[in-house]
Amino acid sequence: MRILLCIKKRLKIPVLQKTDVLVVVPAFNEAASIAQVLRDIRSNGFKALVVDDGSTDGTASIARECQAQVVSLPLNSGVGGALRCGFRYAVESGYSAIIQCDADGQHLSQHLNDLIEASNLSGSHIVIGSRFRSTQNTLDPSTTRRFAMWWLARIASRATGCKVTDSTSGFRLIRMPLLIELAKHLPDYYLGDTFEALVVSGRAGYMVEEIGVAMAPRQSGVSTASNGRAIALIGKSLTTVLLGLHFRIKEND
């Protein structure tokens, strides 16, 4: 019965083309890297929306010069807030799916098509690009952070019914009808837009898949989350999910 239900759900989902997908790039003071990121996206045949999250360094003007659509937020709202704005833009503009892509150059545009192909083959509403499923990545997080990430992945796997190794990856495809729900409810706090959104989607019956992708080092700048701060916020997010205090979305029919 479960297999038949999955097949029926897949048959309802139309095949995505490049023109159906908008690449959403949240950016805060990424003037040094945004141009190359947008050139790579465009060279692979995709349209991009840059959500300028209150930058003060010319990120928005550089993005416009690269012929990307740009939405500028007056204040820094965090990655989740910027993504929610981008999701709403995509829904209102008639796109069937979005791909989240960082502005720092870590996410490689060569994998954009891989995310679409995976969703078309499986019918998944979310396809995650995992750093940990690719042999081309050399990642060495601290022991404490590695343990915390393992716990996040374990909980996300249980919630989604899919083996998840990289629940905090910001490189992912999200398609209708889930896109509409997250455009309304995606949180703006740390891990709310990645781990928590994944758990909430899985518990609401949306299909999740994960594929391996290579990732590059940041082209410039540093991560805004130090190890200590990240561990504290991971603990908060785990508590929120385990106690069922997370946000809610409409269940998938």
Q: pLDDT tens per residue, the chain (253 residues)?
A: 333 334 334 446 799 999 999 999 999 999 999 999 999 999 999 999 999 999 999 999 999 999 999 999 999 999 999 999 999 999 999 999 999 999 999 999 999 999 999 999 999 999 999 999 988 876 666 667 777 888 899 999 999 999 999 999 999 999 999 999 999 999 998 899 999 999 999 999 999 999 999 998 776 655 555 466 667 777 777 777 878 878 899 999 8
Retrieve residue 151's tokens: 């716990």
Please tell me the total number of residues recorded for the chain in this structure.
253
How far apart are the C-alpha atoms of 195 and 234, rounded to whole Å?
9
Is 16-242 assigned to CATH 3.40.50.300? no
User: What are the DSSP calls for 122-176, one per residue?
Assistant: H--SEEEEEGGG-TT------HHHHHHHHHHHHHHHHHHTS--S-TT-S-EEEET
Q: Which helix (H) or strand (E) holds 193?
A: none
Phi/psi of residue 75, nearest 5 degrees: -135, 155
Please give the Cα distance from 131 to 139 (Å, whole number). 8
Task: Give pLDDT, residue 11.
Answer: 47
Q: What is the pLDDT of residue 238?
A: 75
> How much is the pLDDT for 241?
80
pLDDT at 230: 67
pLDDT at residue number 4? 34
The pLDDT assigned to 12 comes to 67
Q: What is the pLDDT of residue 227?
A: 61
- Whole-angstrom CA distances from 201 to 23, 47, 65, 189 are 20, 26, 36, 17
- Angstrom distance (rounded) from CA 175 to CA 70: 21
Whole-angstrom CA distances from 119 to 7, 223, 239 are 14, 29, 31
Determine the pLDDT at residue 239.
78
Confidence (pTM): 0.89
Residue 221's pLDDT is 53
Delimit the domains of the chain by residue range.
16-242
